[in-house]
Structure 1
Amino acid sequence: MTDPIDMLDWLDKRIASAELWIADHGRESKHPRPEHEIQIKETDIAMFTELRGAYAKAVERRKAAA
C-alpha cells in the first residue's frame, strides 16, 4: 500500500496542477480554452478534493483504532 503521506501529497499536487491550469487557461485568461475542457478540470478539482478529504479521514480513523 502507498504511504498515506505520499498519497496525500500526490493528491495535493494533482489539485494544485488543475488549479494552475484553470488559472492559465480558464474563463478569465486571455485566450480561454473551450468550456467543456474547463468543466472537466473543475470536475477533477472537485473529485480530487473530495477524495483527499475521505482519504485523510480514513487515515485518522486508522490511527485512532491502532
Structure 2
Amino acid sequence: MKALRLLLPVATLLAAFFATSGVSFATKEIGKKEKKPCTTCHTKGKELNDVGKFYKEKKTLEGAPEKK
C-alpha cells in the first residue's frame, strides 16, 4: 500500500510533464530553423502575436507583419 501511495503521485507528475513538454520542443525547433527567439511569435507562453499567427498559417516569416 505504501508503494501505491508513492507511485500514484509520481506517475501523475510524470504524465503531466510529458503531456506539456512536447509544445516547448516544437517552439525551440522552429526558433532554431528561423534563427529567431521565441518572443518573435509569442507574447507570453503559448499566446501568439500577429507574427506568430502569420507563421502558423504560412509556415514562413517572409512577408510577416512587423512585430509591435
Q: TM-score range by the shorter chain?
A: 0.3 to 0.5
Higher Rg of the two aligned structures: 2
Q: TM-score, normalised by structure 2?
A: 0.38
Q: TM-score, normalised by structure 1?
A: 0.38
Bigger relative contact order, structure 1 or 2 (CA pairs below 8 A, ≥6 apart)? 1
Larger fraction in helix: 1
